[in-house]
Amino acid sequence: MDWQAALGPVLSPLGLDLYDAEFSAGTLAVVVTRAGGVDLEALTEANRAVSAWLDANDPIEGRYTLDVSSPGLERRLRTPEHFARALGERVTLRERREGQPTRRLEGTLLASDATSATLDDAELGPTRVELADVERARTVFLWGADQPTAGRGRATTSKKG
């Protein structure tokens, strides 16, 4: 299902953007964001709006849990859009390499496009990685640096189908 197309319009009137959505192991994880951060009230409103949309449209069979949260200080990077939003930030990633051990990289994200990301790795310098080869990636929160101080919020609802 294209969760961005389905839930983006549900969240937009609340002043929220859909950062990510994934259905796995009986849980629909919806991650929302907005400029200035997301507070518990916004998460509660998002939970209610998404829950109402799910009840009306019934896109998931059976029982499931709806988990609405903010991205937190260390955001997961899965899509080209996630990488684009993280330009200039410190990121860490694991790169799968055919016939070689997985490579761990960490550094400032210098560039990204639809298929690749380039980061200034602490040891290797500027390094280009194909997004298809990224096993796992996230931003890195630097304690004591000029970074946001908001914590990760979450609102969860159990649903029956």
Q: What is the CATH number of the domain that holds 66?
A: 3.30.300
Residue 135 has pLDDT above 50, yes or no: yes
Instruction: Kindly report, residue by residue over 60-103, the tens digit of the pLDDT.
Output: 988 999 999 998 888 899 899 999 989 999 999 999 999 999 99
The values of phi and psi at residue 144, to 5°, are 85, -10
**Under 8 Å between Cβ of 6 and 53:** yes
Provide the whole-model pTM.
0.70
Domain range for 38: 3-72+152-159
Would you state the pLDDT for residue 157?
Answer: 59
Cα 138 from Cα 5, distance rounded (Å): 24
Tell me the C-alpha distance between 125 and 119, whole Å.
8
Q: How many domains does the chain have?
A: 2
Q: Does residue 111 share a domain with residue 67?
A: no
Q: Please, what is the average pLDDT of the chain?
A: 88
- Asked if 126 and 83 count as a contact pair (C-beta separation under 8 A), the reply is no
Question: Do the beta carbons of residue 137 and residue 121 sit within 8 Å?
Answer: no
Residue 147 belongs to a domain: no
- Tell me the pLDDT tens digit for each residue of 95-124: 999 999 999 999 999 999 999 999 999 899
